[in-house]
Amino acid sequence: MTPAPLRVAVLGAGTVGREVARALVERAGELSAAAGVPLELVRIAVRDLARARDRGIPTALLTDAPAHLVAADDTHVIVELMGGDEPAHTLIAAALGAGKAVVTANKHVIAHHGPSLEAAARRTGAALRFEAAVGGGIPVLGPLAAELAANRVTAVCGIVNGTTNYILTAMADEGRDYDDVLAAAQAAGYAEADPSGDVEGHDAANKLVILARLAFGVWLDPSDIVLSDDAGPGHGRPGISGVTAADVAAAAAAGATIKLVAEARRGPDGRISARVVPVALPAETALARTAGVLNRIEVEAEPVGTVAFSGPGAGGAATSSAV
Catalytic residues: 207
Pairing relationship of beta strands 39-45 and 6-11 according to DSSP bridges: parallel
Amino acid at 63: T
Q: Please, are residues 311 and 294 in contact by the beta-carbon 8 Å criterion? A: yes
Binding mask 144-183 for ligand HSE (x = CB under 6 A): -----------------xxx--------------------
Q: Which of 12, 158, 234, 292 binds ligand NAP (CB under 6 A)?
A: 12
The residues facing 31 across adjacent strands are none
Q: Which of 178, 190, 216, 309 binds ligand HSE (CB under 6 A)?
A: 190
The reply to whether 166 sits near ligand NAP by the rule CB under 6 A is no
| Angle ∠(197,252,157) on CA atoms, nearest 5 | 45
- In 3D space, the residue among 135, 103, 96, 101 whose CA is nearest the CA of residue 11 turns out to be 103
Question: Starting at the edge strand that comes first in sequence, how are the strands of the sheet with 305-312 ordered?
Answer: 272-282, 256-266, 152-159, 294-302, 305-312
Q: Which is nearer to ligand HSE, 61 or 110 (CB)?
A: 110
Going through the chain in order, the beta strands assigned E by DSSP cover 6-11, 39-45, 62-63, 77-80, 101-104, 128-129, 152-159, 256-266, 272-282, 294-302, 305-312
Residue 163 binding partner per list ligand NAP, ligand HSE, none, with a CB distance cut-off of 5 to 8 Å that depends on partner kind: ligand HSE
Binding mask 27-56 for ligand NAP (x = CB under 6 A): ------------------xxxx--xx----
Q: What are phi and psi of 71, to 5 degrees?
A: -85, -20
Is omega for the bond preceding 278 within 30 degrees of 0, making it cis? no
Residue 45 binding partner per list ligand NAP, ligand HSE, none, with a CB distance cut-off of 5 to 8 Å that depends on partner kind: ligand NAP
When CB distances to ligand NAP are compared, the closest residue is: 14
Residue 5 binding partner per list ligand HSE, ligand NAP, none, with a CB distance cut-off of 5 to 8 Å that depends on partner kind: none
Q: Which of 136, 233, 238, 311 binds ligand NAP (CB under 6 A)?
A: 136
Write down the least CB distance from residue 64 to ligand NAP, Å.
6
- In 3D space, the residue among 58, 66, 72 whose CA is nearest the CA of residue 86 turns out to be 66
Mark 22-31 as b/e (b = at least 16 C-beta within 10 Å). bbbeeeeeee
The residues facing 302 across adjacent strands are 152
The residues facing 294 across adjacent strands are 312
The reply to whether 278 sits near ligand NAP by the rule CB under 6 A is no
End-to-end CA distance of the chain: 28
Q: Which is nearer to ligand HSE, 94 or 192 (CB)?
A: 192
Residue 161 binding partner per list ligand NAP, ligand HSE, none, with a CB distance cut-off of 5 to 8 Å that depends on partner kind: ligand HSE
* Cβ neighbours of residue 244 closer than 8 Å, sequence gap 6 or more: none
The reply to whether 311 sits near ligand HSE by the rule CB under 6 A is no
Q: Which of 9, 10, 13, 287 binds ligand NAP (CB under 6 A)?
A: 13
Binding mask 85-124 for ligand NAP (x = CB under 6 A): --x-----------------xxx-----------------
The reply to whether 19 sits near ligand HSE by the rule CB under 6 A is no
Is omega for the bond preceding 303 within 30 degrees of 0, making it cis? yes
The reply to whether 192 sits near ligand HSE by the rule CB under 6 A is yes
The reply to whether 200 sits near ligand HSE by the rule CB under 6 A is no
Footprint of ligand NAP on this chain (CB under 6 A)? Answer: 12-17, 45-48, 51-52, 66, 81-83, 87, 105-107, 132, 136, 189-190, 192-193, 314-315, 319
Footprint of ligand HSE on this chain (CB under 6 A)? Answer: 136, 161-163, 190-192, 198, 203, 313-314
